[in-house]
Amino acid sequence: MNAPHRRGACPGLSAPMATGDGLLVRFTAADGISLGAFIALCAAARAHGNGTMEISARGSLQVRGLSMRSAPAFARAVAALDIAAADGPSVIVDPLAQDPDVCVDSTGLAAAVRHAVAAAQLVLAPKVCVVLDGGGTLHLDALSADVRLRAMGPVQAPRLHVSIAGDAASATPLGSIPPRSAADAAVGLLGVIAAHGAGARAADVLRSKGSEPFHAAVDGMERAGALPARAPVEMIGRHALRDGSLALGIALAFGHAHADALLRLARIAGAYGARAVRPAPDRSLLLVGIAREHAEAVTASLEHQGFIVRPDDPRRRVVACPGKPACASGLLATRALAAEIAPRLPPSRDIIHVSGCAKGCAHPAPAALTLVGTQQGCGIIEHGDSRALPSRHVAECDIVTEAVRLASRPI
What single DSSP character describes residue 357? S
pLDDT in tens, 112-131: 999 999 999 999 998 899 99
For helices 259-271 and 35-48, what crossing angle results, to 10°? Answer: 170
Contact status, residue 273 vs residue 290, Cβ threshold 8 Å: yes
Give pLDDT tens digits for 15-72.
Answer: 899 999 999 999 888 889 999 999 999 999 999 999 999 999 999 999 999 999 999 9
pLDDT computed for residue 269 by the predictor: 97
CATH 3.30.413.10 placement within the chain: 315-408
State yes or no: pLDDT of 10 exceeds 80: no
| Burial letters 53-75, b for 16+ CB under 10 A, else e | bbbbbbbbbbbbbbeeebbeebb
In contact, 122 and 162? CB cutoff 8 Å: no
Could you tell me where the DSSP H helices lie in 81-181?
106-120
pTM assigned to the model: 0.92
Query: What average pLDDT does the structure give for the chain?
Result: 93
Residue type (1 letter), 81: L
Q: What sign does the dihedral 25-26-29-30 (CA atoms) show?
A: negative
The CATH classification number of 315-408 equals 3.30.413.10
Query: In whole angstroms, how far apart are CA 258 and each of 20, 54, 399?
Result: 17, 9, 26
Q: Work out the number of other CB atoms within 10 angstroms of the CB of residue 51.
A: 20
- Which residue intervals of the chain bear CATH 3.90.480.10? 17-85+235-310
CATH superfamily, domain 17-85+235-310, is Sulfite Reductase Hemoprotein;Domain 2 (3.90.480.10)
pLDDT of residue 63: 96
Question: Where does 191-232 show beta strands of DSSP type E?
Answer: none
Question: What are the C-alpha distances in Å from 177 to residues 16, 34, 105, 194?
Answer: 36, 33, 15, 22
Q: What is the per-residue pLDDT for 115?
A: 92
Q: Can you tell me the mean pLDDT for 213-219? A: 96
Upper half-sphere CA count for residue 8 (Cβ side, 13 Å): 11
Q: What pLDDT band is residue 345 in, cutting at 50, 70 and 90?
A: very high
